[in-house]
Chain A
Amino acid sequence: MKIAFNPLRKLALTAALSSLLLASVTPARAEDGTIKVGVLHSLSGTMAISETTLKDTMLMLIDEQNKKGGLLGKKLEAVVVDPASDWPLFAEKARELLTKDKVASIFGCWTSVSRKSVLPVIEELNGILFYPVQYEGEESSKNVFYTGAAPNQQAIPAVDYLMNDLKVERWILAGTDYVYPRTTNKILEAYLKAKGVKEKDIMINYTPFGHSDWQSIVADIKKFGSAGKKTAVVSTINGDANIPFYKELGNQGVSAEDIPVVAFSVGEEELSGMDTKPLVGHLAAWNYFMSVDTTKNAAFIKQWQDYIKNPKRVTNDPMEAHYIGFNMWVKAVEKAGTTDPEAVQKALIGVEFPNLTGGIAKMLPNHHISKPVLIGEIQDDGQFVTVWQTNKVVDGDAWSDYLPESKPIIADWTAPISCGNYNTKTKKCSGQNY
């Protein structure tokens, strides 16, 4: 090999080397100019169906904020991790986001069990988590901001609607056998009894995940509902099991006119993969429907469909929750002038941001937000027609007033209480474990 050492080549080499050096330096310098945002949603496994959409929503929101000039003069950078629908992995990934990537806040989790898994980590490292899904309540952490519905923002208004507008007298509480339906049904049962509904007019039924043989249960519902009194099913049935359930209802001739089913886990996204024929006329309670006709909502839908490059993609309730949560966080950071978690946590309380469906969402001292409650009937195009809505926003209540053990407990993260489980009777921060 003969390599002639010619000056031209030397020049080229130097240029290449220096550009290499420059390239390795630039990201380090850019790092000083960015604020990192963690996105903790499963991109694989059983929950990927629902959570991938939320990851895309976050990327869209961050992208938009950057187009507006970023935050505090810096660009936002999304750090996406995949906890793979594996609950302990949620905790590990949250730790990684906070210690390694040093994110300013995390947007993530779907199931209650994943949130419970992240909770100790986020409290230990004093991070911020925005949780966008409706849940069973009975929790308020200093580090978590709950932008989904608490039971009093979804389940209780739905029952009120059935009781007052549809004159329902007999109740079937049907759910999948895990923590969210069990806690929600416990609250609902206590609420119904407080309203004077008798024990014999309430039927409670639990089924395993992915249950597909609904014949006997639907036959029971039919029998229970044909006793001459108006009957409704309040369904906390989750995921896949819904399709065979509604199919069986249709086949056994139970129509929405006779026995309406109001569901808390069936939204636009779920309906887009279903044969909607047997579902038409059944109800769902949410804080957001894609069909709500407001300028803000139309703009949001357009933005989403343009971003995802699919004019048929639907929007849903947890997406709106992230939209509100992210914008609240942006406002709070601007207010605090820093991304320091302690300062942002304080600044978040009281921040207001308009809902897509009208009204103003406000971050309350208990880390929940105020939302309107909508009840809609399913149409055969997989959308909802709003049949009832609260005339103003409802404040989220962390601790249910209908369970005797949580009735005296409130959450208030402002001074002088500064506690997520303050017992108003004993005047103590009870330290009750959520």
Chain B
Amino acid sequence: MTTNHAKNDFKTLPLPEHTAGPVRRNGGVFKSLLSLARAAIWALFLLTFSANLAAQTGDDLPQPLEQLRLGSMAEREQAIEQLAEDSRNLKLLQALQDGQLMDWKAESRLVIASESAKGYNLRDPFDGKAVLADVERDAVGKLNLTNKLRSVLRKAIGGLQLNADSADMRLEAVKAIAKDADDKALQLLRKRLEKERDAAVLAAIQEALWLQDLNGDDKPARLAAITALKNINNQDAYNRLRELAEPDAEADPEVAEQARSAVKKIESRLQNYAAIETVFFGLSLGAVLVLASIGLAITFGVMGVINMAHGELMMLGAYTTYVMQQLLPEYLGTALIISIPMAFLVAALVGVIIERGIIRFLYGRPLETLLATFGVSLFLQQSVRSIFSPLNRSVSTPDWMSGSWQINDFLSLTWNRFYILIFCLLVFTALLQILKRTKLGLEVRAVAQNRGMARAMGIPTARVDAMTFGLGSGIAGVAGVALSQITNVGPNLGQAYIVDSFMVVVFGGVGNLFGTLVAGFSLGIANKFLEPYAGAVLAKILVLVFIILFIQKKPRGLFPQKGRAADG
């Protein structure tokens, strides 16, 4: 293939006899050159064909590729369908789906591009291996997709992958084509069923076929399908059965009856799943609340300092994550993990500076502390605005934290929340260990219980105050890393959480870490159980009202401090 022109003319190849001797009907140098080129191509084609070599992939499909590269959306759709008929195009189609297939402008051809230091690393679109060039970003253009194209593409890839070697890929393929399957797709599935050995793939194919039986006319097959489907968690099956179970929807009373009992059975399972899901949502909201307030539980709970800048310390943690990701753009996951100690250090340092610079002069004067720390919070917000711009920064989520753990069609738990829940428990345990087992922890507890006595015993209370405040602030920074994964990283991040944090600490009982944990989780769960009935706005209000009433009754929270310290 030398020129574009030849490429386009390929479909309208002249008959072989023309090639035997170039016909010069109209003369003309160009024409004769062209026919020469054609002759050469034809000869080449025959050669490769007779040698029984698979023709160099792609060269036998020039037109769909050009259509894909330059065509309109409708033409692209056609091209994808054409390409889907040859399994050698799988890599190309997958690259298109992943947004890696690009138009190499200088060479007017499609390539697979992956990020490189210079811009893009270009590879052959068919095998995805042979490296062609390393070019600047501007040298290639992206192929845009629409939803319609994406679903065509998904099916096309599904069809091609159905016979792949890996069972996971086959399962994915079956799922892709089973979704609103047409006759052609079902035929493919039936064919595969005979050859399939993997249990999971078999089950998936079987489900799709049962669903098909359900829509058919064969009564025994329909009843068998219902019996089978009622034990399976399949959304499509549930929808279809529910339609059949509607009064007057089904002519056959026996089928209708069976469908009704099947729906009942599935729905009882659904209820359990819904409850599990709500508890999980509640726990994960609770985990965020606990993370946000646990640092405050130390500075406010143990030290008695009302720190209005607590939210901004979390914000600093979130911005640390952003900076780390900017420094290590290639390793988002690693950057996130390194951010945890970094955020701790940054926030702890700022915390110590705040304590040494302002708060230590104001011990015992809560109102002044409140105002001063409020000032600090405004100062921190504005600094971040000046340094990073008032716009939100985009913090990426690494792949292992995106998506969800799909347990079945009705129940899935999102990974990012799952990790945050675990992270919260880890941070809590670590903090508890620090307070219980280290010297610092002993000193912190001693100072909190009786400052005068502690000083008399030789504990440097001023230093301990600074360290305690630093510890609480550092934990806030760590919470910021977690928050960067679920909310916006912007100058106002802290403000959104400060009220919630105080609420949790007060509700749990000031000075009690376990109280904070229990309070956070129970408020989270209560909120999530209320939300479906009351809506997000009202649920929040109800929780607040409940806490106000609760504090009226028990001013010291869920787990009040006991003993002399509590009275002081």
Contact = CB atoms under 8 A, between A and B. Distances in A.
Interface of A: 46, 48-49, 177, 205-208, 210-213, 215-217, 219-220, 226-228, 240, 243-244, 247-248, 250-253, 256-257, 260, 273-275, 277-278, 280-281, 377, 379-381, 385, 387
Contact of B394 (A244, A250, A273): A273
Interface string B140-179: 0010111100110010000000000000000000000000
B277 interface: yes
B292 to A, nearest CB: 11
Contact of B147 (A211, A220, A273, A281): A281
A298 to B, nearest CB: 16
Interface stretch (B103-111, B351-359, B399-407): B399-407
A116 to B, nearest CB: 22
Interface string B389-412: 011111111000011101000001
Interface residues of B, number: 51
A257 B404 contact: no
Contact of A381 (B142, B285, B490, B536): B142
B390 A251 contact: no
B326 interface: no
Contact of B391 (A49, A219, A251, A275): A49
A219 B396 CA distance: 23
B487 A244 contact: yes
Interface in B406-448: 406, 412, 414-417
B507 to A, nearest CB: 18
Given A219-B277, A226-B235, A251 B536 contact: no
Given A240-B488, A244-B487, A275-B397, A253 B536 contact: no
Given A177-B537, A385-B144, A251 B395 contact: no
A66 to B, nearest CB: 29
15 contacts: A205-B535, A212-B488, A212-B496, A215-B281, A216-B532, A251-B403, A251-B417, A252-B412, A252-B414, A273-B391, A273-B394, A277-B402, A281-B147, A281-B150, A387-B146
B99 A380 contact: yes
Contact of B402 (A213, A243, A251, A381): A251
A244 B154 CA distance: 26
10 pairs of A and B residues whose beta carbons are closest in the complex:
A228-B239, A212-B487, A251-B414, A215-B281, A275-B394, A385-B144, A273-B391, A207-B536, A216-B531, A240-B488
Given A177-B537, A377-B146, A247 B394 contact: no
Interface of B: 73, 99, 142, 144-147, 150-151, 154, 235-236, 239-240, 243, 277-278, 281, 284-285, 288, 390-397, 402-404, 406, 412, 414-417, 486-488, 490, 492, 496, 528, 531-532, 535-537, 540
Contacts of A387: 73, 146
Contacts of B235: 226
Contacts of A206: 535-537
B288 A213 contact: yes
A208 B487 contact: no
Nearest to A244: B487
A228 to B, nearest CB: 4
Given A240-B392, A257-B151, A387-B146, A211 B240 contact: no
A373 to B, nearest CB: 17
A240 B490 contact: yes
Contact of A226 (B239, B390, B394, B488): B239
Given A208-B536, A240-B488, A216 B404 contact: no
Nearest to B144: A385
A251 B239 contact: no
B486 A212 contact: yes
A212 B417 CA distance: 13
Given A226-B239, A253-B404, A215 B285 contact: yes
Contacts of A219: 277, 281
Contact of B412 (A216, A248, A253, A275): A253
Nearest to A219: B277
A281 B147 CA distance: 6
Contacts of B487: 212, 243-244
A257 B150 contact: yes
B532 A220 contact: yes
A281 B490 CA distance: 25
A365 to B, nearest CB: 38
B403 A253 contact: yes
A379 B147 CA distance: 11
A217 to B, nearest CB: 7
A49 B391 CA distance: 6
Nearest to A274: B394
A226 B235 CA distance: 7
B144 A227 contact: no
Nearest to B285: A213
B393 A273 contact: yes
Given A177-B537, A243-B488, A385-B144, 16 more contacts: A46-B492, A49-B390, A211-B536, A212-B496, A215-B285, A228-B239, A243-B392, A248-B414, A251-B404, A251-B417, A260-B147, A274-B392, A275-B394, A277-B397, A385-B145, A385-B146
